[in-house]
Chain A
Amino acid sequence: MSSPNGYNYKQNSYYDRKTFRMTPSMLRARRPYFWKNLAGLFIVGSIPVGIYAYTFNFLHQDDFADVPIPPISEEELTRLKKEYEASKN
């Protein structure tokens, strides 16, 4: 059976019917391009990985020392500490 564009999908299956893996013929055909394709994968893949790494690195440089902490009294602090110790035991 031939499809309208002349490509015979039934006969020319370059993927194994059961395992859906590439046939030896297709692997042979693709062999001359294997290393270049792999290099291409690394170049193209390095763009999103680079962006992610840069963002991660940049956000970790943020200094929160200037963020004001709300004031709290001494009694309040000791009470809270006690509460915390009690809940722990």
Chain B
Amino acid sequence: MLSRHIQQAPAGLASKRSFFGFFKAKPDANDKGDLTVPVPTEENRFYPWDLSPCADLRTRAASIRARAKCPVTSKPINYACPYSGIPTHHSREAWEKDTAYHATKKYETLRKVNVFEHDIRSGREFPEFDFPNEQDPDRRVNFINWDMFFYTRGFFSMDTEFQRATSTKMLSYPLTIGSVLNQYTPYALEPKGPVTLEGLKSLAALRYTLYPAKRQSTWKERPMRIFILGARAESQLPGPVWKQLTMLHPGVEFEIHFIGPEAYFDRAKNQYLYLNNSKTVERVDSTLSLQFHTEFFHVLHEATDFFPYDPYLDVFFCFHPGFGSPECKEMWAKSIPALLESKCAVFVSSYNDEDLATDYQHLTSTYEKDMDILFKPTENLYGATKWELNDMNPHETFQFNQQIFGFRGKRYHTVHKGDA
């Protein structure tokens, strides 16, 4: 009897499918990944990046080793963290010494980066990309969070975090716009939420356009324009993804303008193109057209291509512009005054807290007198749930559109009438 028990015990411990999940220790490097399994889990999507079956992830691991520096020793990275499978430190000693890394459980986030990247390349079925059609007018869309949105909008039931990650990375762009502008926005007025009184004025003007049934007066007909400045990934999203935004506002015509040197990507040539003619138009259907402009915004602004601006019909979105980052500051120096001059609402998203703080600090210190804050810096409820990492520094993890804030050029000035 006793010997049988002893023989069984190790088999039970080695079992991968742990029934008592909460007893499980930290994930370890012994997990054997298998990308052919149709249902993704953290275990079967885990490979060390150096030994990944995907060539591009092996290349990425090599580029981290080549370019990034160890946070402890400041030497080149030469040791892959066994929990996350991503090269993070110079040596095992440095990895052990990095108490902040272990205390903040950074390896868990890095492991997420690892498994999400493998899951995308696994070639499993992606039923989450079957997007729903027009919304039935009797069904309200609830914007309280991603899950409720997916449920009320009739998306595929996204049961695993992998399905959420792949779909939210795409839908984050249209939904960040949609959730801010919609009348059932999850963002409340101050002090309960981030929207300031000035912000409510701007949003009310935009909602006047978005809800034609509630308009009181006659209306000049022109499509609503959404300008996306410094467009990169978002300009490559296919039309059906942007249709998800317009389906939230039936009966309104939209023009989405992608502006910036990286706004037009040619898949055949696999490079960003500079368009000689002023723009390229891609019409998705009768209510939505995508327009690509490969100039900087201030060039188009000075050429008065978009005049006149109308705060009721135009809104600007900048997805991770890096207003205050040292690399991009110069490029934005001319465009920000042009944005403020338009007097239209501008919403800005950021990769993480630090990115947001840099942008916000830069704007508030440089343009303090010329702008109103519409939307206090806050966490974006419609940010991507997929974790990403910076190849230059694998300890810097971020999510697309994680944070958001809004501003606008001041529309009036108060006048001092003496001290009497």
Contact = CB atoms under 8 A, between A and B. Distances in A.
Contacts of A23: 157, 159
B133 A6 contact: yes
A2 B133 contact: yes
A6 B135 contact: yes
B136 A6 contact: yes
Contacts of B160: 24
A8 interface: yes
B134 A14 contact: no
Interface residues of B, number: 22
B272 interface: no
Given A12-B132, A28-B147, A29-B148, A7 B154 contact: yes
Q: How large is the interface on A (under 10, 10 to 19, 20 to 34, 35 or more residues)?
A: 10 to 19
A26 B152 CA distance: 10
B154 A6 contact: yes
Contact of B148 (A11, A24, A32): A32
A46 interface: no
Most buried by A among B155, B157, B160: B157
Contacts, number: 50
Contacts of A24: 159-160
A13 B157 contact: yes
A40 to B, nearest CB: 17
A14 B150 CA distance: 10
Interface string B110-128: 0000000000000000010
A5 interface: yes
A73 interface: no
Interface in A5-23: 5-8, 11-14, 23
A25 interface: yes
Q: State the main secondary structure of chain B at its contact with A.
A: loop
Contacts of B157: 12-14, 23, 25-26
Contact of A5 (B138, B144, B145, B159): B138
Contacts of A7: 132, 136, 139, 154
Given A2-B133, A32-B144, A8 B154 contact: yes
Nearest to B151: A29
Contacts of B132: 6-8, 12
B127 A11 contact: yes
Nearest to A10: B130
A29 B156 contact: no
B239 to A, nearest CB: 18
Given A14-B151, A32-B148, A25 B136 contact: no
A29 B159 CA distance: 11
Most buried by B among A7, A23, A29, A32: A29
B158 interface: yes
Nearest to A24: B159
14 contacts: A5-B138, A5-B139, A6-B132, A6-B136, A6-B154, A8-B154, A23-B157, A24-B159, A25-B147, A25-B150, A25-B157, A25-B158, A29-B147, A29-B150
Interface of B: 127, 130, 132-136, 138-139, 144-145, 147-148, 150-151, 154-160
